[in-house]
Every structure is written in C-alpha cells, then in structure tokens.
Structure 1
Amino acid sequence: MELHLVSLNVPYPANYGGVIDIFFKIKALSTSGVGIHLHCYDYGRGSQDILNSFCRSVTYYKRKVGLRSAFSSKPYIVKTRNSKELLVNLCKDSHPILFEGLHTTYWLNHPDIKNRIKIVRTHNLEHEYYQYLSLKEKNLLRKIYFKSEARKLARYESILKQATRIAAISPSDAQYFATHYQNTFLLPAFHPYNQVKSEEGMGTYLFYHGDLSVRENIQAALFLADAFKDEPFSVVFAGNKPPKELIKTLQGKPQFQLIENPPTKKMSELLSQAHVVLLPTFQPTGIKLKLIASLYEGRHCIVNTNMIKNTGLEKLCHLANTREEFVLKAKMLMNQSFDNKDLIIRKEILGKWFDNQRNAEILIQEIQKLQVTNF
C-alpha cells in the first residue's frame, strides 16, 4: 500500500503534541510496509534527513504566514496551508490521502480529488481549543485573533463531510465527530514508547511538565504553584520557554524548582525520578500526550476530569479537581509505593489502547476496507 500523508508541520524533531503523533505514526506505518509519500508544510524547521528513512518521498511546502491570510473567511491555520503544488502532487496518482489535522484540509473538497480515499486525522476540536485560548489570552490583539479563529473554525469544520473517514484521536472526540459527521473511527495517539518504563518503589518529588509557552500549560502550572505554595513537598516544574509570569511566581519558594528547556533525555530522567506526576488541564478536547508520557515513564499520576475523561485510562490515574483535592491526593501518594500491581495493570491497559503497531494496523485496515468497497 502507498499513502500520501499531508503534515501540518515538518514532523521532526518530534517535540510537541501534534508532531509527536505524526512522526511516530509515520514510523509505525513504515514498519508495517506502507509506502509513505510525505508532504510537509514548513515554517522554520527546514528539511529533516531522518524522514527519508521512513518515507518513499518527502516534499516540503512553504507555509504562507502573514497578516493578509488573517482576513480570509477561511481559518488562518487552513488558509496558510494552501500550496497549489501540493494539489498537483496529490493528483499524480490515485493513492489514499491522510490529512493531518483540520489545518491541512484546504484541498479536501477540490473536484480533482473528489473520488479519492481521504482520511482526516483530527487532533482536537479546533474551534473549542481556540475559544479556550481566547478566554485565557491577556494580550488584546491575540485575544481578538483567537476569538475570530474559533468562529471561523466552527463554520469551516463542516468540510469534514467531504472526508471518506475521520480518524479521531480520543474516545470523546470520536463521539463528537460521529454525532456530527458519522464517518468516524477511533485512532489513538501515536507516541515514542515501545514499553512501560515506570519504576517500582518510591520517587523523590512532585512533578509537572509541559510546553510552558502554551497558555493552557501556563495556567496549569500556576494552579499547582498556588495549591502547593504552603506545602512541604518538593515540586519540580519542567518545560520549554516558561514565561516571566511563571518564573516570578516560583522564585523565592525553596520547595519549587523550575527546569527550563530540558532535552528529551533529561525530561525522561525527571519523570522516572518523580514519585507523583501532577496533571491538571483546563482544556478538555483531544488527548494530552504528556499524560501518555507520564504513564509510560512516571509513577503515580494525579489528574483532573478534563485530563482523563473518556480516554480509557481512568483506572491508571488518581482523580482530583480542586486545589485542595490535589494536595490531599499528593499527601496520600507520597507515602504510597508504586508497586508491581500498579505496573501490571498499567502495562495491560496501555498495551490495549496505545500500541503503535496495533494502531497502525487499524488505520491500514480502514483504508483496505475502503479500497475493496470503493467507499
């Protein structure tokens, strides 16, 4: 089987949610024998030789960022990914097409690919995500942009009716898309892990990690800093590009430690040495890859409802929603070893839902069924 895969960004380095899913999907599909023709929108990452190891061809297109695209009726994240060269290349054969994210669907309803197998991998409910960003943004111009983009995305989403199938990333997203567009199946997130690496026994601190340039993660870190400001526990925060607001909040409190821009190896070490990973989120759509990382490499995880609901991972986490509940659960778990029983159930559930090769086969089988029936 050969497959066109249209990526919203160059999927390497695989160092944030969307590209982690794309890169490790590419690896798994390649291992399963799929010949991948990768199409990447580039806006700063440049060509990456490692992609040639997993793909039969790799083509890069410039993303057309700028103020002009912001005034389009189409969402900015879509309008800036409208390469005509991409359409020409997709029309050179009849291979199925996998569009990664609503971002890449500019040509989805074009008549030249009307009769093709077209699968859209949704990473999120994009209009809800941008609405959330608009509510939390403090900069007025950015707030206006996020609010406008949320409205455009809500209108634009109906283009998914033109997809042959929608590959939703989480059970809750699958339920939403199945209700609105019907042609949906669940394809869990792809990730870097081949086995559970969590260590039995006791760790030494509470831990929060995430991309700290993202408002959602900044809000979560500030929530935890406020919850634990008067507690005796050592709390380590780690992530890329923390804002001054967070740095100032954590400074002068000896129980808090901020590790800025840790490389992947260092982040793995921090996870393995933590005893409890704290994972609140205030944006409920999609699935947070930081949760998957924490379950594969960390010990106990305390999460809120937004993080865990309808993920299939509820049995592996401890639930807390308020500041007081996070503190109470942390006090309990800091005195509770992570033992072999915890490890066994973790391996069982993660193996069922998040085995990359198994999930690659789910995608391949969906495509093969469509090819047989001519959808």
Structure 2
Amino acid sequence: YFLFPKFSGSLRLSEYPLWQNLKEFAPELKLRLAYGETGNLPKTTAKFTNLVTNNISGRTGLVPADERGDPDIKPERTKEVEFGFDATLFHGDATLEFTYYHQSIKDLILDVGIAESSGADVFTTNAGEMRTRGLEISLGLNPIKTEKFSWTSRVNFFTTDSEITKLDVDPFNMGGFATSLGTMRIEEGMSPTTIVGAEMDTVGVNPDGSPILRHRILGNATPDFEMSFNNHFTIGNFEVSFLWDWRQGGDVINLGKLLMDFGGTSPDFDKIITFEGQQMKLGDFRRASFTKRTAPFVEDGSYLKLRELTVNYNLPSSLVNRLFAGQISYLRLGFSGRNLLMFTGYDGFDPEVSQFGNVAIGGNVDTMPFPSSRSYYF
C-alpha cells in the first residue's frame, strides 16, 4: 500500500488582542497553511507487457504489444505546500485572498521511446521529477451600495510555471503530430510545455569535431498569467453583470495557417517577401519550408474575451400582481450571452481551441477545429 498524508491549519489573527487596533482597517484576517501528498496511479497496462492478436498469412496468433511494461513501476508522488491568507477590509467593503503553492512530483510517469530493436515503441516507467509553483490572488470590492444603485466587483489573478528538475532518460519530444510541426520538449531544466520544432542550434563541439545540436526553443504553451474581471451592477430594477477573461502569453502552434497555405487561402499568402536574395510569396515560402522551419506557425495566444454578459429586469411586484391576479409574485425578464467578444492578435479563429483537447502537455495545437461557441439566452 502507499501512504499519502495531508494536514491543514489556519489561524485567525483578528481574534487576538494584538489585532484590535487594526480592526478598523481589517476586521478579519486568517492565515492558512496546508501540506498534502497525492498519488497518480499508472495505467493498468503499464506494469506488464500485454499480448495482442496478430494475423500473418491468414494465421492468427499472439505477439507482444508495442508498449513494454515495467514490473517495478510505482505511483507518482506529488507533494504540495500551500500558504496564504484571507482578509476582510474596510468594514467588509473589500476582501483579499492570497495563495502561494509549491508542488513537487517524484517518480514522474512518462511514456519513453525505446530502440526499435526491442520490438516495441514505448516504455512506460518512472523517469523523472518535476516542480510546479504558482500564485493566486483574488480581490473583491463593494465600492457602492445605495438603495437604488450597487456595484460589486471581483478580480482574480493567477500564474504558474513548471520545470523538469530531473530526467532519468534521454530528452525526448512529446505531443503534437511531428517535430517539424511543433511539439513539446521534455528535457531537464526546461518547462514541460516548451515548444520546439525543426530548427536546431549549435551549442558546442564534440571531441571529434562534430557539432553539438540542440532544439531551438520557439515558445511556451503556459501563459505568463491569467486574469478575470467580474462585475455586477444593480440599477433600480435592472441588473447587469459581465465577466472578462484575459490570458497573457501561452503560445499556440497554428497548423491551421499551414493548412490554409496548402490551399493558397491564408490571408497573407500573397504578401511578397525577400529570402536569400529572391522574392517570393509568403505563403509559398511557408509551405515549401515547413519541414525545416516551424517558427512561422508558433504564435502568441494572448486574448481578452467577454466571457459572459447578463442583463435582467425585475418587474415591479405591483405590476406582476395585477397581471397575474396574485398567482405570481416575482417575474424577471433577461438576456445573457457567452463568448460575445474577443480581442487577440492570433491569426487563427480562436487561440483557446485545441486539436487534442484539454491535456496538460501538447494541448496547444490548432488545426482549425470549431472555435468556442457563441451562445445567446433569453
């Protein structure tokens, strides 16, 4: 069996005499600290090498699967320390929440490529360690509150970054379709969402005089930070609320641009550029060199979206009683929408979409699936 301990605690400083002189400014302050360990079990097929059916010349038999098992594989172990505080400020008109966390993963489970001479493609094993740390801040405000008008607002900020701190196997690429089409580089000292492609840089020379090559870093799929802005207004019988989402950074591999280049339909296809002294169309250049140059398809995925908008009107109770003879006491008319506006410099339809869904590594590949749907409700 495996043991995964957890504990948490908090301290309300505002309950102690030393805080009494500060209660006018911050009537409530609570400190938080937590530690926990969790496990991520390997998939059921990872411990053994399975046999699968195969047909050769009309004869059916069993052969080892392409994935080799590791009889010594064990669960990943994640250790996380989290601390922060919750504060109420200015007689309850503002709240502030702060959280910092540091997470370390040992016995990282990875699907590692192995030599073809082994008769397999992948070996699933414990092969490294990873560190993740992040910061979350939430500020709530109630700046105006009268009988006819009120305004409440909440701003959330969060950022995170990860690093492979130990790798027991050779560095390898993971996710995407192919290295030349953009993929993630799993290498010690780098983020697991580092984007590399076909480009290589010379970083040294071997004793025999041959160059030491390394994949050129083209970007990182992890955003620099993300924020949300939620506001709610009450104006008489009207209620208006809206939510903005802002993502800064987070690179996307825009293979939709390559697909449009193949068809000659990308918006900048006919733009004339000069390369090595020759003039050519930009689209022709990209599609002729995509196996050697991935960088033209890696784009900044920053965006600002109006995620939600709601407008409601509460009919006066006297009018509702007259209209429905007292059978209904409350009636609200309203409209709401989702994904109504987007501001971005990204060339594709939507930097938030992904060919491979919401996966931790390799989920930032855009091959022009349907963008986020725009919805209206009445």
- TM-score normalised over the length of structure 2: 0.22
Q: Which has the higher contact order (CA 8 A, sep 6+)?
A: 1
Structure holding more helix per residue? 1
Structure holding more strand per residue? 2
